[in-house]
Amino acid sequence: MKSDIHVCSAWEREHDRPVYTFGDTCPDCGAEAVNSAPAPFDPSDPHGPYRRSLKRRRRE
């Protein structure tokens, strides 16, 4: 299922964190808002790197 939530395409440059919107443009800076589905990573998840390193260790 495709998500209707978009994320500011310039958030890395314009904001401290991803800015999500249901519209086509960022409500904060007016940049294009793109589909957020294939998020490369979640910066709001502080345990992400830790979990990934755990997973790697388990594979060895």
Q: Which residues bind Zn ion (CB under 5 A)?
A: 8, 14, 19, 26, 28-29, 31
Q: Write the CB contacts of 42 (distance below 8 Å, at least 6 apart in sequence).
A: 48
Considering the complex, state which of residue 13 and residue 47 has its C-beta at the smaller distance from Zn ion.
13
Considering the complex, state which of residue 31 and residue 34 has its C-beta at the smaller distance from Zn ion.
31
Output the smallest distance, CB 42 to Zn ion, in A. 17
Considering the complex, state which of residue 4 and residue 12 has its C-beta at the smaller distance from Zn ion.
12
Question: What are the C-alpha distances in Å from 27 to residues 42, 48, 51, 58?
Answer: 20, 28, 33, 42
